[in-house]
């Protein structure tokens, strides 16, 4: 708390010393003291004490914003972040809205990481902004991204400049992720960005599967709350990779202590698949994208379905192809 002498100009040195002898050093000390008692301690008139209190409250108190001010500020800072995949951007009506958490969900090997890499290339090449990439699987490939950029006919200098915008952090456990998120708030003040990618979140929760305590429940709730706070405060997007599992494999003893079924609106779009991490995480993402193979399509092609959205119609889908340039749209 600020010292009293820094905020009150009409208190002379002798009065300040009198107050300090009575352990009144800060603005809070002064405001908490009874006005009548303060008159006796300082020798000031009751009118002067009340006047000082009003000035201190006006100068030091936190002023609440109106709902309109908060909404207007959000609109001013918000933006749609293009994924770089044309058909997916059409489904998202321009891209992912900042201030939200977006999840890419699918079975192992379906192309979730390739979507993340395509988003990275779009941001560092076209938007020319920093991307923070959290690597929990320790399989981030700078070489692969370089080859994707090179396949788009960029020269060596442009490739080097783009690669410098990727900030990779390798994490080994959930506690390191928590530390990273708390440090991120300070980092973003001086090094702002529009998107933070976590590939992938379920890897960090493996130790809590079949656990006999509720540590996983508390940790995932803490992470979700922190991510939502950061995304809202800095108007960034968290793009999180989650694993999908066959629903008949998700028995009560195989999931983190946060288990529950899908809501009915998502079941019809996901079929036998179910997003991992359980009940608490299930409602966290504002957007959930399911990427999956389709037996009627070539092996290099995938279907992406918007199975959940807080502001867009769900159920829309598109077909994409995984190429050496990244994930691209397929015209049907």
The token pair that represents 252 in the structure block: 């009560």
Task: Write the pLDDT tens digit of every residue in 171-190.
Answer: 999 999 999 999 998 999 98
Same domain, 47 and 73: no
Task: Write the pLDDT tens digit of every residue in 163-176.
Answer: 999 999 999 999 99
| Domain end residue (candidates: 34, 60, 86) | 60
209 vs 91: CA distance, rounded Å? 34
pTM for this structure? Answer: 0.76
160 vs 119: CA distance, rounded Å? 17
Same domain, 300 and 196: yes
| Domain end residue (candidates: 60, 80, 102) | 60
Same domain, 217 and 307: yes
Same domain, 23 and 145: no
Residue 264 predicted with pLDDT over 70: no
Structural domain tally of the chain? Answer: 2
Same domain, 157 and 279: yes
Same domain, 310 and 162: yes
Parallel, antiparallel, or unpaired: how do β-strands 166-170 and 131-135 relate?
parallel
Task: Write the pLDDT tens digit of every residue in 95-130.
Answer: 999 999 999 999 999 999 999 999 999 999 999 999
Q: How far from chain centre, in Å, is Cα 177? A: 12
The residue with greater pLDDT, 211 or 206, is 206
Same domain, 10 and 76: no
Same domain, 213 and 164: yes
Q: What is the CATH number of the domain that holds 136?
A: 3.40.50.300
**Among positive and negative, which fits the CA dihedral 206, 209, 215, 220?**
positive
| Domain end residue (candidates: 60, 86, 107) | 60
**What is the pLDDT at residue 250?**
40
Same domain, 40 and 108: no
34-37 contacts at long range (C-beta below 8 A, 24 or more positions apart)? none
Task: Write the pLDDT tens digit of every residue in 44-101.
Answer: 888 888 888 888 887 777 777 777 776 677 667 788 999 999 999 999 999 999 999 9
Parallel, antiparallel, or unpaired: how do β-strands 273-275 and 195-199 relate?
unpaired
Domain extent, residue 292, equals 68-329
Same domain, 165 and 276: yes
Going from the C-alpha of 99 to that of each of 78, 157, 159, 328, the distances in angstroms are 7, 33, 29, 26
Match 């998700």 to its residue by tokens.
250
Q: What is the CATH number of the domain that holds 45?
A: 1.10.150
265 vs 92: CA distance, rounded Å? 18
CB contact at 8 A, 174 and 217: no
Task: Write the pLDDT tens digit of every residue in 19-47.
Answer: 887 788 787 888 888 888 888 888 888 88
332 vs 312: CA distance, rounded Å? 22
Same domain, 249 and 178: yes
Task: Write the pLDDT tens digit of every residue in 282-327.
Answer: 899 999 999 999 999 999 999 999 999 999 999 999 999 999 999 9
Q: Which percentage of the chain shows pLDDT scores above 70?
A: 87
Same domain, 74 and 39: no
What value does the mean pLDDT take over residues 245-252?
56
């Amino acid at each position: 708390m600020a010292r009293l002498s820094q905020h009150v100009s009409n208190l002379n040195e002798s009065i300040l010393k009198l107050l300090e002898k009575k352990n009144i050093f800060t603005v809070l000390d002064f405001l908490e003291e009874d006005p009548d008692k303060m008159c006796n301690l300082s020798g000031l008139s009751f009118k002067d004490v009340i006047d000082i209190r009003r000035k201190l409250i006006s100068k030091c108190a936190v002023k609440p914003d109106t709902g309109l001010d908060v909404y207007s500020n959000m609109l001013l800072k918000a933006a749609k972040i293009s994924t770089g995949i044309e058909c997916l951007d059409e489904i998202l009506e321009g891209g992912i809205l900042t201030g939200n958490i977006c999840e890419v969900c699918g079975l192992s090997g379906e192309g979730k990481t390739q979507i993340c890499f395509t988003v990275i290339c779009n941001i560092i090449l076209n938007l020319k902004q920093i991307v923070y990439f959290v690597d929990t699987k320790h399989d981030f490939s700078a070489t692969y991204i370089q080859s994707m950029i090179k396949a788009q006919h960029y020269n060596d200098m442009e490739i080097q400049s783009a690669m410098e915008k990727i900030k990779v952090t390798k994490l080994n456990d959930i506690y390191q992720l928590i530390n990273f998120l708390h440090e991120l708030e300070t980092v973003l003040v001086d090094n702002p960005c529009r998107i933070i990618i976590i590939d992938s979140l379920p890897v960090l929760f493996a130790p809590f599967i079949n656990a006999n305590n509720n540590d996983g429940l508390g940790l995932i709730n803490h992470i979700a709350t922190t991510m939502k706070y950061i995304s809202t405060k800095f108007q960034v997007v968290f793009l999180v990779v989650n694993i999908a599992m066959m629903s008949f494999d998700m028995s009560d003893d195989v999931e983190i202590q946060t288990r529950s079924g899908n809501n009915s609106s998502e079941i019809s779009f996901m079929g036998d698949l179910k997003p991992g991490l359980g009940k608490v995480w299930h409602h966290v993402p504002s957007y959930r994208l399911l990427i999956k193979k389709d037996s009627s399509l070539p092996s290099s092609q995938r279907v992406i379905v918007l199975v959940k959205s807080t502001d867009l119609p769900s159920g829309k889908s598109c077909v994409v192809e995984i190429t050496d340039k990244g994930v691209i749209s397929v015209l049907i």
